[in-house]
């Protein structure tokens, strides 16, 4: 759809969010809502996209760096029709259909926009997107015939009782050809209580001049706006519910779906099992036949087929679990590779490490990778056995088949097949503990008498 341009309105102050962050940059599933919208529109390959900014424009400019998007400034903010007009300069020379949408309505689908554009084919000059909410509240109403021809659009406060009884509501999204959009926007007036120029008056103006306006309907979830923290949370709930259903439909088992939270880019293979209370941050790829156990937090990690993690595992960015590897409870990985069949069953930190295949990392082992200034690497060879409560002080290399005795603090490289034991010789003093207890008991009794 190369003859499409998009104007995204994002100039509002977002005061109800009570935030220093621009409203449309608040994330849903880890991605700013504005980027949800832009990614949704991408399959339509718009020829141009203009984001109309106002308050905190610098935040939008920074966030949109690298996107094929132009920003335009609305200053002062005089209403949605006025905002759309600010994109005119950026769209100079464009001839085609123009969609006006909203940065805080992030979940509209590309197929819906395509239906909206296609509604212009049969001679309609303007197409608007309507929806039928479970509770129409104070939305503007669309009065339309059975064939979708709009006879009137009316704000709730101006509607009669009969018009308020209509459940077809206006989402605000609108499309028209550039030859019609600009004259209609120019004609919008501000003769209203707020003295502002409103986008729905584009459709009202078209009807007044005898043009045909049509309505296309979408599900209310698709056009739900986000204006407050509560509405942001509600959008997150809807997104997560849809993603959980998608995951299960594609072959993953979620034992308690409502307790699992995905990121916008989580990738799951088939026959993946996810236990309750698992959170995925951005950048996670999980292959087939993986088991993520309860209360695990995973971000920026790659997990290969047959691996298992948790319960209470934390995989941070750069963590790679290779085929059939395992991390258990209270194991943390960061920028570390756990080789094929290797395991770290509990209470372990692996940072800046490369663990060879079938190596065993004992409980309480840590890679000491940071000296306060720089990070250093630890390498553990294939089939090496690291005893419990060991400290591998990087940079250090442990050879294949080596054994590190429990409680060792290893500061030098260990050769393949070597046993390394780094701990003080045990000192035995017969009867010392008994004498200590007797002395302390006498002191305690004496202190009581003095008191």
For residues 172 and 102, give the distance between their C-alpha atoms in angstroms, rounded to a whole number.
8
C-alpha–C-alpha distance, residues 336 and 392, integer Å: 14
Strands 396-398 and 385-386: unpaired
Beta strands in 261-418 (DSSP E): 267-268, 273-274, 279-280, 285-286, 291-292, 297-298, 302-303, 308-309, 314-315, 320-321, 326-338, 343-355, 360-361, 366-368, 378-380, 385-386, 391-393, 396-398, 403-404, 409-410
Residue 145, number of CB atoms within 10 A of its CB = 10
DSSP, collapsed to helix, strand or coil, labels residue 62 as helix
Residue 281 tokens, joined: 């941050």
416 close to 398: Cβ distance less than 8 angstroms = no
* 346 counts as catalytic: yes
Residue 292 CB neighbour total at 10 angstroms: 26
DSSP codes of every residue in 79-113: -HHHHHHTTTTTTTT--SEEEEEETT-TT--HHHH
* 204 HSE (CA, 13 A, CB side): 17
**CA torsion angle for 34, 40, 44, 46 (degrees, to 10)?**
10
Provide the 3-class DSSP secondary structure of residue 335.
strand
Q: How far apart are CA 378 and CA 367, in angstroms?
A: 7
Catalytic annotation, pick one of 26, 36, 291, 346: 346
Q: Are strands 4-10 and 48-53 parallel, antiparallel or unpaired?
A: parallel
Q: Are 349 and 391 within 8 A, CB to CB?
A: no
Q: CA-CA distance, 9 to 105, in Å (whole number)? A: 10
Q: How many CA within 13 A on the CB side of residue 19? A: 17
Burial class (CB in 10 A: 0-12, 13-18, 19+), 1: middle
Catalytic positions, written as ranges = 346
């Amino acid at each position: 759809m190369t003859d499409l341009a998009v104007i995204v309105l994002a100039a509002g102050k977002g005061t109800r969010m009570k935030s220093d962050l621009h409203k449309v940059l608040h994330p849903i599933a880890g991605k700013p809502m504005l980027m949800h919208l832009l990614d949704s529109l991408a399959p339509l390959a718009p020829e141009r996209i203009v984001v109309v900014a106002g308050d905190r424009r610098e935040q939008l400019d920074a966030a949109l760096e690298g996107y094929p998007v132009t920003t335009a400034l609305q200053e002062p903010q005089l209403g949605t029709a006025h905002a759309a007009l600010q994109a005119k300069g950026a769209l100079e020379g464009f001839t085609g259909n123009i969609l006006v949408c909203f940065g805080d309505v992030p979940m509209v689908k590309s197929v819906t926009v395509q239906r909206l554009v296609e509604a212009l084919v049969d001679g309609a000059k303007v197409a608007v997107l309507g929806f039928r909410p479970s509770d129409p509240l104070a939305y503007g109403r669309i009065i339309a015939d059975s064939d979708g021809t709009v006879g009137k659009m009316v704000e709730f406060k101006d509607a009669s009782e009969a018009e308020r009884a209509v459940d077809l509501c206006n989402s605000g999204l609108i499309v028209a050809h550039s030859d019609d959009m600009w004259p209609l926007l120019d004609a919008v007036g501000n003769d209203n209580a707020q003295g502002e120029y409103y986008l729905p008056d584009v459709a009202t103006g078209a009807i007044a001049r005898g043009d045909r306006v049509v309505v296309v309907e979408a599900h209310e979830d698709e056009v739900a706006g986000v204006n407050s923290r509560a509405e942001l949370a509600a959008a997150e709930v809807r997104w997560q519910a849809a993603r959980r259903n998608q995951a299960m439909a594609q072959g993953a088992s979620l034992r308690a779906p409502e307790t699992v939270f995905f990121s916008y880019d989580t990738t799951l293979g088939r026959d993946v099992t996810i236990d309750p209370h698992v959170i995925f941050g951005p950048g996670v790829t999980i292959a087939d036949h993986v088991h993520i156990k309860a209360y695990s937090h995973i971000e920026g990690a790659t997990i290969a087929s047959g691996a298992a993690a948790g319960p209470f595992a934390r995989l941070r960015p750069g963590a790679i679990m290779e085929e059939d590897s395992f991390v258990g409870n209270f194991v943390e990985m960061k920028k570390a590779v756990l080789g094929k069949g290797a395991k770290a069953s509990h209470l372990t930190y692996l940072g800046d490490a490369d663990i060879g295949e079938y190596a065993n990392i004992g409980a309480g082992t840590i890679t000491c990778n940071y000296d306060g200034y720089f990070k250093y690497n630890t390498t553990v060879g294939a089939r090496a056995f690291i005893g419990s409560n060991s400290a591998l002080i990087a940079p250090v290399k442990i050879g294949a088949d080596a054994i590190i005795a429990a409680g060792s603090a290893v500061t030098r490289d260990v050769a393949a097949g070597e046993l390394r034991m780094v701990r003080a010789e045990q000192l035995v003093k017969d009867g010392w503990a008994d004498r200590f207890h007797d002395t302390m008991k006498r002191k305690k009794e004496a202190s009581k008498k003095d008191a």
